[in-house]
Every structure is written in C-alpha cells, then in structure tokens.
Amino acid sequence: METPKRTETNSKRKVHFPTKSVFKVIKNTLYLLVCATLLLMTIIVLSSRASGGEPQIFGYQFKTVLSGSMEPTFETGSIIVVKDVENPASLQKDDIITFQASENALVTHRIIEKFTQGENTFYRTQGDNNDGPDTQPVLSENVVAKYTGVTIPLIGYFLNFASSPMGTAILLIGPGLMLLGYAVYSFRLALKELDRQNKEAVASTDTEA
C-alpha cells in the first residue's frame, strides 16, 4: 500500500506596514514645526516693531551678527541670544557682552580684562577673530546684555528681511495662507473619505440584493 504523498507548502505571511499612518504623522509633525517657526518669527518681528529696537522676549534679545569679528564662536548672519544684565559691574573675564560702542552701534565682543578707575568699572574687549583689543575700554554702564551661548546659524539674514516692511507683511500673511491651505486640503480629504464610504455602502447593498 502506497503511502500518500504529502505536499509541503511554505506559506509566507505578508507583513503590512502602516505606511499611510506613518506618512500622516510625519506630514502633521512637519506642518506643526513650520507653523511654530513662523509663529515664533512673527512674535520676534512684532516685538521688534513694538519696542522700536531689537526683538526681545522675556528679557532675552535676539541680535543679528553683522561681521566676522567673533568667528568661529559665531558666524556672520547668525542670530545670537543675549540676556539683560542686572549688575553690569559683576561681569568677568571671558564673558561675551553686547555693549554700546557709539550712539547707534552695538558690538558683541569678549572681555579680556576687567579694571576699575575710581568708582567706575571698565572692561577691555576684543573680537575672537581680531588681532588686537578694541580701541576704547567699555564702561560697565554701557553694557547692554550678556551672551547666553545660544546661536542660530544663518537665521539673521531671514530676520533682517522679516523686519523690513515687505518681510513683515509676508510673515504676517504667510501663516494665515498656510492654515487656509491646510483647511482646504483637510476638507477635500474628508469629502473623498465620505465618497469612498458611500460607494462601499452602495456596493454592499447591491451584493446583499
């Protein structure tokens, strides 16, 4: 009596990855990041407009680096974050400070020496990329802020443009247009989903009939 042959089959299960869900999460995350960035830039620009000077939020100021005197600590076109100094006379050597160099000029350089004359405290400063110290020592009362160590590369170019009348208009209108576009996109997706569900319901009814 012949033994019945057994046919062996190797069935491989197909693994389905939630591709649509992953892409949806990535899309929503990117959208939120863009909106958050635009919102932050809008707040910074409006703060600058309201104060008539540098953008300031909670005591922190955003300064655009206009020269390469402090490279490589921070590059030209970067944004640096500085904070108000409660006691300008308490600063020490190696602190990086922003000070009033002239009536219309702010400079951010490193303290290389601290000294006093009478009751006044002075700082000798120098750019990290400069060969020698600045010509005039800085009176402590002329110190505007201290560098926090936070630098955002290249954003200074964008912030300068955003502070212009045209840039401000674009920055204010941009987020609104993005939200409107996203709302239209979401509405179209909802309509497609409703249409798909209606077609499935009709097909199911025809099958049962």
Unique residue bearing structure tokens 């009751």: 119
Question: Which residues are 105's β-sheet partners?
Answer: 102
What gap in Å lies between CA 76 and CA 136, rounded to an integer? 23
Q: Which amino acid is at 127?
A: G
- Residues marked active site are found at 67
Angle of helix 165-208 relative to helix 155-162, nearest 10 degrees, comes to 100
Sheet holding 120-126, edge to edge: 56-57, 60-64, 79-84, 143-152, 96-102, 105-117, 120-126, 138-139
d(CA 57, CA 166): 23
